[in-house]
Amino acid sequence: MSTLEVKDLHVSVTDDETDESQEILKGVNLKMSTGEIHAIMGPNGTGKSTLSQAIMGNSTYKITKGDILLDGKSILEMPVDERARAGLFLAMQYPAEIAGVTNVEFMRAAINARRKSDDQIPVMQFMKKLDEKQKILDMTDEMSERYLNEGFSGGEKKRNEILQLLMIEPKFAILDEIDSGLDIDALKVVSRGVNSMRGDNFGSLIITHYQRLLNYIVPDQVHVMMDGRIVKSGGPDLAKKLEDEGYAGLRDDLNLDVKLTDEI
């Protein structure tokens, strides 16, 4: 079993125009293990995506206090590529397009980067695995042979992120609004891919605004973020309560003085 722990994490971002620093995360605590699916919900601007970027080591986000531990060891000094090799994966809300690099080339390189130089994945083994995972996501060979995300629709990009997840098989996957812009059919396919990974060797932190995704990927725990902190945690029913009552209801229940930028 592997663990991912965020301890009293404070993160700031500097505005390029004013050169002023703004604290986004104000003491986040979260611990999860492989075999678990956790969901984070909360209003816009509360720090959900900042948390995902900080975990992956995006240098734009400055950690001013706290720690991030993978299997009990701090990863704060690890660059992004080293964190990925250690077993972390981020599926982004807006996946980048990379011309000149095919999906097949990218995924094979990513898999081999996590293996020793004398244990690179054989081509036929890679292709067999790719075929199996594409079928789960209703993807064609043609999509894998195209340049990475180039000319893909929003739904195709999201499927492609999940295909990478299935091929790379990380310890922990952070899915940042993977449901954004998906119609119901695409949502079901993406959810099917994530659910196919569930097991003792995989954990996921899902960032979402909406209960609808959690109807298909049922989380073990749900956490609510407001004003840079996790203010409440619970089971799947917490997400359903938010769907019914909105964040304002929770804010009132907890007597929080938090300005909301959106409601469910």
Question: 8 is written with which tokens?
Answer: 């009293």
Does residue 34 belong to any structural domain of this protein?
A: yes
Between 15-19, 44-48, 68-72, 108-112, the lowest mean confidence (pLDDT) is in 15-19
The answer to whether residue 51 is domain-embedded is yes
If you average pLDDT over residues 106-113, what whole number do you get?
Answer: 90
Answer yes or no: is pLDDT of 261 > 50: no
Decide: helix, strand or coil at residue 254: coil
Report residue 121: phi and psi, to 5°: -65, 130
Decide if 107 is inside a domain.
Answer: no
Looking at the domain assignment, is residue 69 inside a domain? yes
CATH number, residue 186: 3.40.50.300
Strand partners, 207: 40, 176
Q: Where are the beta strands (DSSP E) in 163-220?
A: 172-176, 203-207
Q: In this predicted model, what pLDDT tens digit does every residue of 192-227 receive, in sequence order?
A: 999 999 999 999 999 998 888 999 999 999 999 998
Tell whether 48 is covered by a domain: yes
The whole domain housing 26 covers 3-93+170-253
Tell whether 226 is covered by a domain.
Answer: yes
Is residue 263 included in any domain, yes or no?
A: no
User: How many structural domains comprise the chain?
Assistant: 1
pLDDT at 39 over 90: yes
CB count within 10 Å of CB 132 equals 12
Can you give the pTM of this predicted structure? 0.89
Classify strands 172-176 and 88-91 as parallel, antiparallel or unpaired: parallel
Q: Would you say residue 254 has pLDDT above 80?
A: no
186 lies in a domain? yes
